Chain A
Amino acid sequence: DAGVIQSPRHEVTEMGQEVTLRCKLISGHNSLFWYRQTMMRGLELLIYFNNNVPIDDSGMPEDRFSAKMPNASFSTLKIQPSEPRDSAVYFCASSLITQGAGEQYFGPGTRLTVT
Chain B
Amino acid sequence: GENVEQHPSTLSVQEGDSAVIKCTYSDSASNYFPWYKQELGKRPQLIIDIRSNVGEKKDQRIAVTLNKTAKHFSLHITETQPEDSAVYFCAASPTGTASKLTFGTGTRLQVTL
Chain A contacts to B: CB under 8 angstroms? 31, 33, 42-43, 45, 48, 50, 55-56, 91, 95, 97, 100-109
> Complex Cα distance A53/B42, Å?
28
Contacts A31-B98, A91-B44, A109-B43 known; A100 to B103 CB distance under 8 Å? no
Tell me if A's interface is mostly helix, strand, loop or mixed.
strand
Contacts A56-B100, A91-B44 known; A43 to B89 CB distance under 8 Å? yes
Q: Is the beta-carbon distance between A100 and B32 smaller than 8 angstroms?
A: yes
Q: Say yes or no: is B85 at the interface (Cβ < 8 Å to chain A).
A: no
Chain B contacts to A: CB under 8 angstroms? 31-32, 34, 42-46, 49, 89, 93, 95, 97-106
Q: Is the beta-carbon distance between B99 and A102 smaller than 8 angstroms?
A: yes
Q: Is the beta-carbon distance between B95 and A100 smaller than 8 angstroms?
A: yes
Chain A positions within 8 Å of B42 at CB level: 108
Q: Is the beta-carbon distance between B43 and A107 smaller than 8 angstroms?
A: yes
Which of A42, A97, A107 interacts with B105 by CB under 8 Å? Answer: A42
Q: Is the beta-carbon distance between B106 and A100 smaller than 8 angstroms?
A: no
Q: CB-nearest residue of chain A relative to B44?
A: A106
> Complex Cα distance A45/B97, Å?
14
Q: Is the beta-carbon distance between A42 and B98 smaller than 8 angstroms?
A: no
Contacts A100-B31, A101-B31 known; A42 to B99 CB distance under 8 Å? no
